[in-house]
């Protein structure tokens, strides 16, 4: 079983391996004529070639999932749970291997790659608890001899579209919970870094997911549209940019599907003067520049309140001390961004910030990284004096760039955060319980950290981004996702005793 297969042309010269599709339990070669290179962002080495699946291949994947749903939906809940117990064990056993693949194709440091996988592993562990999570409710004697109960039944074929920045965590947010609840699934990984996703899929089959229950297609816009439009797909989960997420949500809901789209962000970290200075600055540097800033929950924006603005020079020095290198190198703090195009976009926004009058406190452009001169590197970059309306504030930079705004009071900082259209995450750094309680009550953002810079909830809770950062009512894991992947059916029943016969009841009431 190989998800990435080497190949040779007629000349015998080695060429990059090809990434396979998964259809009806088999890893198969695509017949596509459109391919994309998977490139190591630190070296520009082509690691593999990924196909853009044909319409026929997409239809075959959905048909396989539809056929498998007929039996999978009736599989005992304990059987489903045990698959995910085994799956979490396999992920743990292969953690180093998975992290190495992720780092090679995406650029993250090895410790951060393991963190990416681990946060997905937590959801797999949660899926193994499906017996408790998918329980309905029962009320007896709601009327004379009448009981009412609910069933949480699977929808059918579901689909997931995942981003490049978390090629392990986000797929693990999606297909385990969908499959554990009795659905079947078609996954479309990011075409930029699908290799670690495919290795996770391989392990999922080894754990016991049956033929056709999980399928994988690769591609770009045409495949995304095909998933949104397909009449046999009942629900779609998406994580990625606001532009694409809005398109997916509109197209999928127009086609009558459930959809949840977690999208762009501009996450503000508000710093009060009473905060623990060293801890706060360490947290800001880690949350802004970790993963080269390519996190939808990165603390990309800081709001220094009052006297806390005096800490900016110390923050700059902490950022200046971070080590820029290939993710596979020991001691690396900031690896490359995912592509040459991403590097150009980030550099262009830095130039725009300078042109618009923000103060460039630290310029991370064009760092020298010995041995990796072709890598997509940009170092930690800090702007101060940033104002609403500037491009570096209004746009999600998605790189290791921190923009700093100032506020005179906590009230002013809250108003500033609430005026931004995005509502993915925010954080407050303080030692005041009163300030923290006020902040969490008044801030209009879905996920709030108090002295926690990246407040991504553990799977016992749900991912709750809000406003322009989210479309759809329910989050991608936790209790909310059980409702997303199931249909609630309410049953009202009465069993008659032959000895007791009542007359005709022409009212709506039960008696």
Q: Which residues are catalytic?
A: 296
Alpha helices in 149-304 (DSSP H): 169-180, 195-207, 221-229, 242-254, 277-289
For residue 392, give both structure tokens.
């570096």
The neighbour count for residue 444, using CB atoms within 10 Å, is: 13
Count the neighbouring beta carbons within 10 Å of the beta carbon of residue 69: 23
Bridge partners (DSSP) of residue 382 are 362, 402
Report the C-alpha gap between 498 and 493 in whole angstroms.
16
Instruction: Give the full edge-to-edge strand order of the sheet including 138-143.
Output: 138-143, 146-154, 486-494
Q: List the one residue out of 346, 38, 390, 62 whose CA is nearest residue 229.
A: 62
Instruction: State the DSSP H helix or E strand holding residue 186, giving kind and residue range, or none if neither.
Output: strand 184-188
Give φ, ψ of 270 to 5 degrees. -95, 130
CA of residue 225 relative to chain centroid, distance: 20
Backbone CA torsion sign across 115, 227, 203, 7: negative
Token representation of residue 149: 């109960």
Helices (H), ranges, 308-432 = 312-320, 340-355, 391-394, 410-419
Nearest CA to 208 out of 361, 321, 79 is that of: 79
Distance CA 132, CA 141 (A): 24
SS3 259: strand
Burial class (CB in 10 A: 0-12, 13-18, 19+), 371: exposed
- 8 A C-beta contact, residue 142 and residue 195: no
d(CA 476, CA 294): 19
User: Any bridge partners for residue 448, and if so which?
Assistant: 426
- 146-154 vs 466-467, strand pairing mode: unpaired
C-beta separation of 410 from 439 below 8 A: yes
CA nearest neighbour of 445 among 423, 464, 469, 417 = 423
């Amino acid at each position: 079983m190989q998800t990435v297969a080497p190949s040779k042309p007629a000349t015998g010269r080695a060429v990059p391996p090809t990434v396979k599709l998964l259809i009806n339990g088999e890893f198969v070669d695509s017949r596509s004529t459109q391919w994309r290179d998977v490139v190591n962002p630190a070296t520009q080495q082509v690691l593999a070639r990924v196909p853009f699946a044909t319409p026929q291949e997409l239809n075959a994947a959905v048909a396989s999932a539809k056929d498998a749903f007929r039996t999978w939906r009736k599989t005992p809940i304990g059987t489903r749970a045990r698959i995910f117990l085994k799956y979490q064990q396999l992920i743990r056993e292969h953690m180093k291997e998975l992290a190495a693949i992720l780092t090679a194709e995406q650029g993250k440091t090895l410790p951060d790659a393991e963190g990416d996988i681990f946060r997905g592993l937590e959801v797999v562990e949660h899926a193994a608890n499906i017996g408790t999570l998918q329980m309905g409710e029962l009320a007896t004697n709601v009327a004379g001899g009448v009981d009412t109960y609910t069933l949480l039944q699977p929808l059918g074929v579901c689909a997931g579209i995942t981003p490049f920045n978390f090629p392990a965590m986000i797929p693990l947010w999606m297909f385990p919970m969908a499959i554990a609840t009795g659905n079947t699934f078609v996954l479309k990984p990011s075409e930029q870094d699908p290799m670690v996703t495919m290795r996770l899929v391989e392990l999922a089959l080894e754990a016991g997911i049956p033929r056709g229950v999980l399928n994988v297609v690769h591609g770009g816009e045409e495949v995304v549209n095909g998933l949104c439009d397909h009449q046999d797909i009942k629900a779609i989960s998406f994580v990625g940019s606001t532009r694409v997420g809005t398109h997916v949500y509109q197209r999928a809901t127009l086609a009558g599907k459930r959809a949840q789209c977690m999208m762009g962000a501009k996450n503000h970290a508000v710093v009060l003067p009473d905060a623990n200075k060293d801890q706060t600055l360490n947290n800001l540097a880690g949350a802004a520049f970790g993963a080269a800033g390519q996190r939808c929950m990165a603390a990309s924006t800081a709001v220094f309140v009052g006297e806390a603005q005096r800490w900016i020079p110390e923050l700059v020095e902490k950022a200046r001390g971070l080590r820029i290198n290939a993710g596979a190198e020991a001691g690396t703090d900031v690896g490359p961004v995912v592509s040459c195009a991403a590097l150009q976009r980030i550099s262009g926004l830095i130039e725009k910030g300078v042109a618009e009058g923000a103060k460039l406190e630290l310029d991370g452009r064009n760092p020298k990284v010995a041995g990796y001169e072709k890598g997509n590197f940009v170092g930690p970059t800090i702007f101060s004096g940033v104002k609403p309306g500037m491009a570096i504030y209004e746009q999600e930079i998605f790189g290791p760039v921190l923009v700093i705004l100032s506020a005179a009071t906590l009230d002013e900082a809250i108003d500033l955060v609430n005026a931004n259209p995005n509502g993915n995450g925010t954080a407050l750094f303080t030692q005041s319980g009163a300030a923290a309680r006020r902040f969490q009550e008044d801030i209009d953002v879905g996920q709030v950290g108090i002295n926690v810079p990246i407040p991504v909830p553990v799977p016992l809770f749900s991912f709750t981004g809000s406003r322009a950062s989210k479309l759809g009512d329910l989050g991608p894991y936790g209790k909310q996702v059980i409702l997303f992947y199931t249909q609630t059916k309410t049953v009202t029943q009465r069993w008659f005793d032959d000895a007791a016969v009542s007359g005709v009841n022409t009212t709506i009431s039960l008696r």
